[in-house]
Amino acid sequence: MPTPAAFKLDLPVRPRRLRRTAALRELVRETEVRAADLIAPLFVVEGEAAPEGIVSMPGQFRLGLADLVRECRELWALGVRAVALFPKLDAALKDAEGTEERNENGLILRAVRAVKTALPDLVVITDVALDPYTSHGHDGVLNAAGDDVDNDATVARLAAMAVRQAAAGVDFVAPSDMMDGRVRAIRAALDAAGFGETGILAYSVKFNSAYYGPFREAVGSAQAAGTKLLSKATYQLDPANRRAALAEAVLDEAEGADILMVKPAGAYLDIIRDVRERSGKPLAAYQVSGEYAQIHAAARLGWLDLVRTRDESLLAIKRAGADLILTYFAKDVAKALA
């Protein structure tokens, strides 16, 4: 019987040849995450107090305008070329109609102006939905019975909202509401108002997911509703439905979306691949707050290596077919790449 050292298989094909050294592994690597692939979500608040940490999202903060601009400068220097801004409003400004959103000098509009003045080339993306502004925490205005979101009335509000954001200088408006027909209405409104160059990054496939809890805390929509368990099942996608997800993406592309997006990312890699194979449009995926929080929580307990798990999770999203990734890890990853 030959010893293990003497035993040789007659194998003309040995895949391990390409994994033998670090240089070889890098040479044949198929998927790469670059700083320029990342979009950093940032939370904005009134005032100039020190950045306020978000308990459920370690390393993330609510930023006043001066700190927001400073953070954007740091991201730009690290090679991150885009940010997505989300406002956290005082509860006193919220009502059932979300009327503060109509304020021509509102927080998010001032934030856009400040960032674009400081960094004209930075790509700025703004959320188009009413949940940061409503006292009930839903993404739109409610119907007469108060038991569901009124689709068409909400779309009219969102189209006007997108025009205000475009006037402030935003590069992309990003409707995250999942109302029927909102991409078409927003495109028409932008074009009619002379903002034909303003793009639409559509939350085309947004699931009614349990992974959004920390984000709702960060923007205050959970507290507005009095619960982190607010159901948005009548407008966000059922997590069980794969064909319906593809149909939503196809609709948004036909209605004029410039970039499609799948949200969340990690639990929906199959959906990212489906959309990638169906559409030639740029595809984004949102690694959401719950995904970020669970990696940090497991790492804090010593169950996972934070950096390796972070990087692997982003590689998986990119490998599935995403061109762009919204992730709260954007700054840390860009630092590591630099």
Strand pairing of 52-53 and 61-63?
antiparallel
Residue 10 lies in a domain: no
Q: 219 is in which domain, residue-wise?
A: 33-337
Residue 28 lies in a domain: no
Query: 221 — phi, psi (to 5°)?
Result: -75, -30
Residue 64 lies in a domain: yes
Instruction: Confirm if 176 and 86 have CB atoms less than 8 A apart.
Output: no
Q: What is the CATH number of the domain that holds 326?
A: 3.20.20.70
Distance between CA atoms of residues 122 and 80, nearest Å: 9
Residue 193 lies in a domain: yes
Residues in the chain: 338
Residue 286 exposure: Cα atoms within 13 Å on the Cβ side: 26
Helix, coil or strand: residue 215: helix
Residue 331 lies in a domain: yes
Q: Is the pLDDT of residue 282 over 70?
A: yes
Helices (H), 178-288: 182-192, 213-219, 221-225, 242-255, 269-278
| pLDDT at residue 152 in the model | 98
| pLDDT at residue 218 in the model | 86
| pLDDT at residue 1 in the model | 55
| pLDDT at residue 217 in the model | 85
| pLDDT at residue 227 in the model | 47
**Residue 6, Cα to own-chain centre: how many angstroms?**
55
Helix, coil or strand: residue 254: helix
Residue 2 lies in a domain: no
Q: Which residues contact 66 (CB under 8 A, 6 or more apart)?
A: 48
Angle, helix 306-320 to helix 289-300, in steps of 10 degrees: 150
| pLDDT at residue 308 in the model | 98
The continuous run of DSSP H or E covering 289 comes out as: helix 289-300
> pLDDT tens across 176-192, in order?
999 999 999 999 999 99
| pLDDT at residue 6 in the model | 80
Distance between CA atoms of residues 131 and 139, nearest Å: 4
Residue 99 lies in a domain: yes
| pLDDT at residue 84 in the model | 98
Instruction: Confirm if 221 and 137 have CB atoms less than 8 A apart.
Output: yes
- Residue environment code for 96-122, b if the CB has 16+ CB neighbours within 10 A, otherwise e: ebbebbeeeebbbbbbbbbbbeebeeb
Q: Which residues are annotated as catalytic?
A: 206, 263
Closest among 167, 183, 178, 100 to 140, alpha carbons compared: 178
Residue 176 lies in a domain: yes
Domain count, the chain: 1
Q: Is the pLDDT of residue 62 over 60?
A: yes
